Amino acid sequence: MRHKLIGQLNSLRRLAAAVALLLVASAGAAGAPALKAGVFEPPRQAPDFSLASSTGRELKISDYRGKVVVLNFWTTWCGPCREMEPHFEKIAAQFARETNVQFYAVNCDDDETLVAPYLSEEKAKTAVLFSDGLDRFLRVDSFPTTVILDRTGKIAFRMDGFDPDTIEKSLNEAITRTLH
C-alpha cells in the first residue's frame, strides 16, 4: 500500500511539474525560434530544472553552470535510441577527462518502472535522468534527440534523430565548439 501511495505522489509531482513547464512554454513559445537538427543555434536560455536520476538522486541544472551539459533524450521502446546509446557512451568516454562536460541520458518513458529492467538488460553506462516534462518543454518529439547546454545553461546545439555514420563526429565537433 505504501509503495502504491508513493507512486501516486510521484505521479502527481511529475504532473504538476509538467503543467508548470507547459504554462511557461506556452507563455514564451510564440516568439521562440525553431531549432534545426544538428546545427548550432543562437544560444537561448534553457529553463532551470531539477530531474530525478534512476538512482534517486536529484540533479538541478543550475548546479552545473560553468560546465557543458550533454542531454540525450530517449525511451525504452525506441529502436534508434538503443542504436544511439553505444555512440553516446563512446563520446562520453572520449570526454571523460574533461571535467567541464557532463553527459546524461534523459528517459522520456511515461512508465518509469520500465527503465530499471531496461538498464539492467542493456548495461548502459551513462547516468540516467527522468525527463519529468522537460522533453515536452523543449519540444522533443522524436527520439533520440540530443541537446547541448553551454556553460551558462543556454541551448547551444540540438540534433533530432541521428545518423550512425556521422553521430560521433557531429557530437564531438559540437561539444568541442561549445567548450571553446
Ordered by where they begin, the domains of the chain are 2-179 (3.40.30.10)
Least confident of 16-20, 42-46, 145-149: 16-20
81 is catalytic: yes
Three cell numbers at 45? 536560455
More confident residue, 129 or 18: 129
pLDDT tens-place string over residues 116-154 = 999 988 888 899 999 998 999 889 999 999 999 999 988
pLDDT tens-place string over residues 155-178 = 999 999 999 999 999 999 999 999
As a three-state string, the secondary structure of 80-125 is HHHHHHHHHHHHHHHCCCCCCEEEEEEECCCCHHHHHHHHHHHCCC
3-state secondary structure of 34: coil
pLDDT over 60 (residue 54): yes
What is the amino acid identity at position 57?
R
pLDDT over 90 (residue 67): yes
- pLDDT number for residue 48: 75
Percent residues over pLDDT 70 in the chain? 74
Least confident of 14-23, 67-76, 102-111, 129-138: 14-23
Q: Which of 46, 61, 71, 81 is catalytic?
A: 81
Residue 127 Cα to chain centre, angstroms: 11
pTM of the predicted model, to two decimals?
0.74
108 is catalytic: no
Percent residues over pLDDT 90 in the chain? 54
Q: Which of 78, 114, 119, 127 is catalytic?
A: 78
Give the Å distances, CA to CA, from 77 to 35, 56, 74, 149, 162. Answer: 25, 22, 9, 26, 16
